[in-house]
Amino acid sequence: MTEDLEFEGIKESVSIIPLGGLGEFGLNIMVYETENDLIVIDTGFMLPSSDMPGVDLIFPDIHYLVERQEKIRGILLTHGHEDHIGALAYVLRQLDVPVYGTQLTLAIATGRLREYGVLGKAQLNTIAPGDTVELGDFTAEFIHVTHSIPDSVAIALRTPVGVIVHTGDFKFDMTPVDGKLSDVQTLARLGSEGVQLLVSDSTNAERLGQTPSERSIYGAIDNIFQKTEQKLFLCTFSSSLHRIQQFIELANIHRRLVAVAGRSLINNVRTASELGYLDLNPDYLIDARDASQFRPHEVMVLTTGSQGEPRSALALMALDNHPFLKVEPGDTVVMSARIIPGNEKAIGNVVNHLLRRGAKIYHERNADVHVSGHGASEDLKLMLNLLQPKFFMPMHGEYQNLMRHAELAESVGIPSENIKVAEDGELIHLTPETCEVFGREGRSGRVLVDGKPELELEDIVLRDRIQLSEDGILIPVIILHSDTSHSTVNDQQNGVVADETSVTVTGSTESQEPTTDNASKTGLNPGQIEIISRGFVYMDKSEELIEEAKEITRRVISNLSDEQKHETEIVQDEIRGALRRFFSKQMQRTPLIFPVVMRV
């Protein structure tokens, strides 16, 4: 749908376009747009799944924003988790727009902005819960909510069609670690004034009841401290600062020194401590390089790697590859984080290696060492009842989470026709009376990154990597000889017969009968053919198959005209196509085939 059609005949309207975060976990980025102005809420990334070899990060495709950058009035951040701010540097490399976030959120984002070289151009504006900001047709009000990281906010947007509330990530924690409750009063006030649309977190929509307080794990972790007689490794997300605060408190109580491992964790602990979000006595903090100098029962190590990331500190320790930290028999490892769907195998590998090191392992499936930062069904219903929106749209989560949240909304009295389940790239058109969902039309997508953000991977590269991992690669190397009739006569006179159809397979040469075809006396003719296989077949046990493949290759070349033989791409395409058909028929497998053509 074009921009003209989006606003045709309707001056009082808002378009909502999710560029990520609806139908998946992570990649959260939402666009709110009027005829004149546009704002963006959150710019998150997503980690790749195991079927994306060589991909480091996934960013949202922001072509929609680049094409409308003159309308963008600001990027608003709800909190400091990477799935909400991790793509900010990538976005600001392409857009010169102001950014609004709380003190801690911007402080965490600053490190990534500096790393990617965009901190100098970033327009960072610090806000606090309760503040309002005028952004063209939008007025944004920031509302404190509890989550697993301090300084989290929901955002109420006053628009030409009424109030839109975007919750961000939240739960209703009655005993938060920092003592700051969700601002229920402001939420209730907005509900009494009238909310046109609620856009709300669906991550835990399928979980019954209410999500326990962050403080609920304190007793279980305390018990582990008491039982552990050697080193204690506590692993969590680097931005789970409420969790980290509890670990530090318990380390002080049990008289253990605190060592921090993992770059992102070190940066976040330093930043949060400097800003007063973490109470960390520097006398209890030691350099992780010095941990081995203390007795095992005197040390607690905070580390990253709860999702089995291969280059994380915990994964390196599990393989005994960490430069200065070792997990030894009798040590205890606590993995205090949710097992994100898709990461089970990677996490399992790390756990297996830690067990081989002789460690005792605790995780969410065998101990109460993790609690979610997202509201379960009763939290979500409470938010719905407080705000009493006219229209409702679930966000954040896979499609099943969105659908379950829609059912919860209907259960508290929102008419089913006023509940809109959308996915990435779809257009949600909101007016004072209606809320409708339209098709995607290419508004969203994903950018796959290999290493640095500027190293974007095309889809075809990823497909090739997947095919390589499944079917391997085959490289036919073909040498085309020019017309050698004169030299052949001379050779015959000297008692030497030239063999123009000899075929070499991985170094071995097999002679064929000299051809008498007239075509062999002119133009380019097939000489040596070498076939190299990697990850496809074992050459020594596939001689017949390779013999047939080389014969097909020779036949393809012989059937080409002299003009075609002089066009390298034509020769390669013909060989590739013939061999693909052959291997697909013979083996039901199709390796990547890269013919190499040389002329002599």
Q: How far apart are CA 518 and CA 438, in angstroms?
A: 65
In order of 130, 269, 364, the CA distances from 282 in angstroms are: 33, 12, 30
Rounded to whole angstroms, the Cα distance separating 301 from 47 reads 25
Find, among 31, 4, 17, 23, the residue nearest to 91 by Cα.
31
Q: Are residues 299 and 231 in contact, defined by beta-carbon separation less than 8 angstroms? A: yes
Residue 471 designated active-site: no
CA distances for 339 relative to 237, 254, 344, 367, angstroms = 11, 28, 7, 13
CB within 8 Å of 552: residues ≥ 6 apart = 578, 579, 582
Concerning whether 79 is annotated as a catalytic residue, the answer is no
Residue 346 identity: A
Helix (H, G, I), strand (E, B) or coil at 286: strand
Q: What is the DSSP letter of 287?
A: -
CB within 8 Å of 197: residues ≥ 6 apart: 16, 162, 163, 164, 165, 389, 390, 391, 392, 393, 430, 435
Beta bridge partners of 259: 286, 301
Catalytic residue among 374, 396, 405, 429: 374
Element spanning 564, H or E:
helix 562-565
Cα–chain center distance at 353: 25
Under a CB-based contact definition with an 8 Å cutoff, are residues 299 and 291 in contact?
yes
Nearest alpha carbon to residue 57 among 459, 449, 445, 346: 449
Phi, psi (rounded to 5 degrees) for 460: -65, -30
Read off the amino acid at residue 25. F
d(CA 260, CA 289): 10
Chain centroid offset of residue 403 CA? 23
d(CA 553, CA 528): 11
Place of tokens 């060492």: 369
Amino acid at 574: E
Q: C-alpha distances in angstroms, 90 versus 65, 114, 471, 582, 599?
A: 13, 12, 34, 44, 45
- Catalytic option among 183, 201, 331, 424: 201
Sheet with 132-135, side-by-side order of all strands: 132-135, 138-144, 153-159, 162-166, 197-201, 391-395
DSSP states of 434-485: -EEEE--TT---EEEESSSTT-EEPHHHHHHHHHHHHH-EEEEEEEEEPP-H
Measured between alpha carbons, how far is 377 from 254 in angstroms, rounded to an integer? 37
3-state secondary structure 111-175: HHHHHCCCHHHCEEEECCCCCEEEECCEEEEEEECECCCCCCEEEEEEECCEEEEECCCCECCCC
List, by residue number, the catalytic residues.
201, 374
